[in-house]
Amino acid sequence: MTVQFSKTDFLPPLWLRNAHLQTILPRYIAKNTPDYHRTLLKDSLAQSDVAFDYVMADDQKGADGRYTTPIVVLFHGMEGSSQSHYARTLASHISTKGWHFVVAHFRSCGGVAVSGKVFYNAGDAAELAHYLQVLQQQFTTIYAIGVSLGGNALAKYMGEYGSDAIANRAVVVSAPVDLASASIAMERLLGRYIYTPYLLNPIIKKALDNRLSSEEIAALKSAKRMADFDNVFTAPRHGFRSKNDYYRHASALPYLRHIQRPTLIITAKDDPFLGVTAEPTDVSSDVLLLDTRYGGHIGFVDYDYQKRQFDLGFIPRTALDFFGFL
């Protein structure tokens, strides 16, 4: 079917149209501090604990024992958590509307260390399926949002599972649906010297805290790029031959044509983290592409002159509109 949805473009004031300002600014201006309730559960391999951070609405369970008010689940970006600016912003908007919200943390994220060998990767659709099955036992209606790495994982899940996907609708934001070209994009000047260290250093430190061979330790300590890390750690830890094998199999782009539930993909054309992005011929009729000229990477910062304050509401408002909130 063709998705019916009135797209709204993102058009910030002139002084907010720099891609790097859009990318960096939100982490300094997001003020919301949600009151999360944390639940720990086992991952899909029953090896490690993972954290679900909930903001629950005032709701009652139906005859089947499940909550009747919808829940929105967020799959975060690389090294993200419920404390990421976009998670806190989404939590505030969605809870204000009276819906449930949860951040489903990937292995090793949210302050919960892994117990097994496997961490997380951009294409682990089975892990998302497990998380959604857990939520399906508690909630009748589930909507999903995936951001950056979590957006690629969600898009791949929606395509891989097709009509069996548990999420009724999905919104994918700033997703590197072609991981190989995104890896190259991160080698641009600011990507190499600002964004890569910001993302790479914490995850290398986390990896070094686990049982590693002397060869793995040496390789990790010498990693200077995301591609290096993926080649020596992500790929072999998750059963791939190399970073190229990992990028090829984990990228969502080839799966977009198989999506059978309404999915909105929001991409800023100035996103400094992305390479190849989806075109209309890459997707099924159940996918709607919203390509904005501005927005950076998970930025979409506007300014409300009447209230004299920054506005991070473009993504929450667009997602809720797409999910059919009235």
Active-site amino acid positions: 148, 271, 297
DSSP class of 105:
P
DSSP class of 276:
S
Percent helix / strand / coil, the chain, rounded to 5: 40, 15, 45
Q: Which residues contact 260 (CB under 8 A, 6 or more apart)?
A: 162, 163, 165, 284, 286
Cβ contact 109:76 at 8 Å: yes
| Among candidate residues 98, 86, 92, 116, the one with its CA nearest the CA of residue 237 | 116
b/e 314-323 (16+ beta carbons within 10 angstroms → b):
bbbebbbbbb
Cβ contact 105:51 at 8 Å: yes
DSSP class of 192:
I
Rounded CA-CA distance 144/132 in Å is 9
Cβ contact 303:325 at 8 Å: no
